Amino acid sequence: MLSARHPGGFTLIELLVGLALLAILLVMGAPAMGTYLHNAKLAAATGSYYTGVQMARTEAIRRNLSAQFVLTDTPLTIVNLENAAVPNLLGRSWIVRAPSPVAGVFLPVIDKKDATEGEVSIVAPSIVVTSAGPVGYTGIIAFNGFGATADGQPYSIDISNPAAGVCAPVGPVRCRRITIAPGGQISACDPAAAAGDSRAC
């Protein structure tokens, strides 16, 4: 039974000790939570690029004609985007397009994605894209009607987040890579994963 001198509840000292412990736990967990959020953002961006490349390949097979995945920084709101888009090896947006029967002219854009969506700053973006391919590669990955790369060459797209830190294994950020094999096989992988790991490139 509680007496009048000792009512139920917490004393001020007990409450302050509890808050101090909670603050310590939050401070200890904040870096891990920040790294987790940055890695989740990288995974989401990788999913977007992967979807775009896969869509270009699927369209090429469906039409039994060529289709292109194009990295670009051209604003996606401009008129005649399919013909006005300037390919860019470091493009942070992408479009999927297919050529028309008229040489040098493309059909309307099949799909597009602005990779700067949700970015606080366009000047210092968090997601950085670097793509590579054969000599003369400009940022266009073309697929033929069989779903293979039109030139029979491999391509890769690296996605990183320098604002969050250095890529693993040196830093905490799990950067991603999308690889496109000459036969058209597309995979998303982790360049820092050890050999034998299902996530390894």
Question: How does pLDDT run across 92-136, given as a tens digit for each residue?
Answer: 899 999 999 888 899 999 999 986 565 544 444 578 889 999 999
What number is the average pLDDT over the span 135-152? 96
What number is the average pLDDT over the span 150-170? 90
Element holding 29 (H helix, E strand): helix 12-63
What number is the average pLDDT over the span 39-65? 91
pLDDT score of 84 more than 90: yes
29: Cα within 13 Å, side-chain hemisphere: 6
Domains of the chain: residue spans and CATH: 30-189 (3.55.40.10)
> 199: pLDDT confidence band, cut at 50, 70 and 90?
confident
Element holding 15 (H helix, E strand): helix 12-63
Measured at the alpha carbon of residue 115, what is the angle toward residues 113 and 120, in degrees to the nearest 5? Answer: 140
Could you tell me whether strands 140-143 and 155-160 are parallel, antiparallel, or unpaired per DSSP bridges? unpaired
- For 169, residues 6+ apart whose C-beta sits below 8 A from its C-beta are 192
pLDDT the model gives residue 161:
85
Per DSSP, the residues of 145-168 read TTSSBTTS--EEEEEE-GGG-PBT
pLDDT tens profile 16-28: 888 888 878 767 7
pLDDT the model gives residue 151:
96
Most confident segment among 31-45, 143-157, 181-195: 143-157
For residues 23 and 26, what is the distance between their CA atoms, to the nearest angstrom?
Answer: 5
